[in-house]
């Protein structure tokens, strides 16, 4: 059984600027035939919460599991990977080109802190599923005051 790489990072939120996000979205809208072969794309993601965990599901069909990397800290998850373009046939001519290829990076900010030690990831039928256990809140302890 092969595993998806999971790294534990610090302060992932600082890594992704608004400018980079704007540039990524701009290139997404451009006709694929006018863009460089290696372009950036943004796979669609769902993030939802249960009482005990945060669950992220990403639609990344066509990406090899070996090309995926997941990095987590208490506040964010960074998912990177690449979808390789199919081999071109000499003389082929596109009539429609909507599938994006190349590298992608998504940084998702979490609604509550998570425990980075309790993370699971699976990849089935083109869907990446990451399950993150919520950080348990420390129990309040009552202290007895001694003395007069």
Question: Which residue do the tokens 């796979």 mark?
Answer: 43
Give the pLDDT of the chain (148 residues) as one tens digit per residue.
Answer: 556 666 666 665 555 555 565 665 565 555 444 444 445 688 999 999 999 999 999 999 999 999 999 999 888 999 999 998 888 888 888 788 788 889 999 999 999 999 988 999 999 999 999 999 998 876 667 778 887 7
Handedness of CA 56, 62, 65, 69 (dihedral sign): negative
Residue 133 bridge partners (DSSP): 53
Residues 61, 63, 66, 67, Cα dihedral to 10°: -140
**Structural domains of the chain, with CATH:** 5-85+98-134 (2.60.40.790)
Residues near 6 by Cβ (< 8 Å), separated by ≥ 6? 70, 71, 72, 119, 121
List, for residues 115-130, the tens digit of each pLDDT value: 988 999 999 999 999 9
């Amino acid at each position: 059984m092969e595993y998806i790489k999971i790294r534990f990072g610090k302060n992932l939120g600082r890594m992704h600027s608004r400018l980079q996000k704007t540039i990524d979205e701009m290139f997404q809208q451009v006709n694929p035939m006018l863009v460089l072969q290696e372009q950036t794309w943004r796979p669609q993601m769902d993030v939802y919460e249960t009482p005990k965990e945060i669950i992220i599901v990403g639609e990344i069909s066509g990406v090899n599991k070996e090309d995926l990397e997941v990095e987590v800290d208490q506040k964010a998850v960074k998912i990177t990977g690449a979808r390789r373009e199919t081999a071109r046939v000499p003389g082929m001519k596109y009539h429609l080109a909507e599938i994006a290829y190349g590298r992608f990076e998504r940084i998702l900010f979490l609604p509550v802190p998570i425990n980075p030690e309790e993370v699971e990831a699976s990849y089935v039928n083109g869907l990446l599923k990451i399950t993150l256990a919520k950080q348990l809140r420390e129990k309040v302890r009552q202290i007895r005051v001694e003395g007069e």
